[in-house]
Amino acid sequence: MSAPVEPREVHAWIKESLGQRPDIGLGKAIGNMILEPRNPFDSTRRRKPKAGFVLGAVLFTLAVGCFCYFEFVG
């Protein structure tokens, strides 16, 4: 029969396992949602933002600019 494992040991194993995986996390998920997919053959090249994100950012900035202009100037 195998030896019992304590919860602290299991926690340490999980933490070590997750630490070895650099491809998980909230920051990576947001980056993958905003930027184009990585090129597996050229990892040094910077990723460009997705066209939909750029369009949304421009429209949001335009809407905020129009709101500020008509609210404070006119």
Confirm whether 35 is domain-assigned: yes
Confirm whether 66 is domain-assigned: yes
- Domain residue limits at 64: 7-73
Structurally, the chain folds into a number of domains equal to 1
The whole-angstrom separation of Cα 70 and Cα 68 is 6
Give me the mean pLDDT over the 24-37 stretch: 88
DSSP 14-55: HHHHHHT-TT-SHHHHHHHHHBPPP-TT-TTSPPPBPHHHHH
Is the per-residue pLDDT at 1 higher than 80? no
Confirm whether 1 is domain-assigned: no
Confirm whether 2 is domain-assigned: no
Is the per-residue pLDDT at 74 higher than 70? no
